[in-house]
Structure 1
Amino acid sequence: MPSSVQILGTGQLVDLSRQLRRAGGPRLRQNMGRHIRRAAEPLQKDLQRSIQSVSLPGSGRKVRGGPSPTTRPLRTTLAGAVRISVRQGASPGARVWLDRSRLPADLRNMPWVIENGRVRHPVFGNRRRWATQWARPTGWWSRTVQAGMPKMRAEVERVLGDVRRDLQ
């Protein structure tokens, strides 16, 4: 089930945030935020590639019927909603998440639907005729996050070490 991935409130991150605040170094804080964002970007890119590669085979009809009534490609729209946010302050950290507000109203549940495998939709916009497509449960979100988290954690720890050295 897609949800956000967060690296928050670890003792090192909280202590470092306090030291930065005491040091009064806005430049250091900005640099730390930028580096933490860069640490999360590979996971974001992997999630975007993963949703782009999900296969949704059709059921029933073997011949394609015509152009899509919509101008927005499904997988590209979903990939565009994967976001990163970096927080500094009381609970500093990085978060990779799927922003439902960036999706059209009729696609807000689609990432979860694809994760579970069943996609039901009207045929070419005709609400009297419906088709069901099955996505092979590839775990486009959960498996990708599971594979990317160790790298993201290691990179954040490296950034924390660099900032800690700058403070000393």
Structure 2
Amino acid sequence: MAGSVQILGTGQLLTLSRRMRTAGGPRLRQNFGRRVRRAAEPLHRDLQQAIRTVQLPGPGRTTRGGPSPTTRPLRATLAGGVRISVRSGAMPGARVWMDKSRLPPDLRNMPWVIDQGRVRHPVFGNRRRWATQWARPTGWWTSTVAAGTPRMRAEIERVLADVRRDLE
């Protein structure tokens, strides 16, 4: 799984960035950044929704059990790690990525593990007893990115055309 989706540093974006620096001023750069962010937001929302709806069926209930040792909801925590960043300087563009620093230390690799389809974890925090849960093998990240990237690229092309028209 790729760690991020990037539309950065294409020749058109670099040329346009240079022209905006000389001719457009801060208002045009802010407008450009805002519109590029808006182009990436649907993919951002789709990724968050995809991780919130991933099914992780358990192996079945046993007679043992008890309350979960943690109160944080797994899917909502992972959805909070999906981020957008927009650049308008030397490498202009947009990036939608999973920010591991926003996840708790024990969940840093969980987005990639779930994307692959197999989650192993201790049963109720007991490190001597482990369970395996299987997610849908299509991958929440890869399939969502594949579906959303063309829309994001098309929107950024439209933004580029509009800004180019404003500069001329």
Alignment map for 1:8-157 (pairs within 5 Å)? 8-61=8-61, 65-157=65-157
TM-score by length of 1: 0.94
Match of residue 158 from structure 1: 158
Counterpart Cα distance in 2 of 1:118 and 1:17: 43
Q: How big is the shift at 1:24?
A: 4.9
Closer, same or farther: CA 35–55 of 1 in aligned 2, 3 Å: same
8 Å CA contact retained: 2:86, 2:92: yes
Task: Give 2:49's aligned amino acid.
Answer: R
Q: Secondary structure, in 3 states, of the residue corresponding to 1:25?
A: helix
> Kindly tell me: are residues 66 and 2 of structure 1, through their superposed partners in 2, closer, same or farther at Cα, counting changes over 3 Å?
farther
Q: Which runs of 5+ in 2 are unaligned?
A: none
**Unaligned stretches of 5+ in structure 1?**
none
CA distance in 1, matches of 2:39, 2:94: 9
Pairwise CA distance, 1:117 = 1.2
CA RMSD of aligned residues (A): 1.5
Kindly indicate whether the alpha-carbon contact (under 8 Å) linking 1:7 and 1:95 is maintained by their aligned counterparts in 2.
yes
Determine what percentage of the aligned residue pairs are the same residue: 78
- 2:117–2:139 Cα contact (<8 Å) kept: no
State the alpha-carbon separation in 2 of the partners of residues 75 and 161 from structure 1: 38
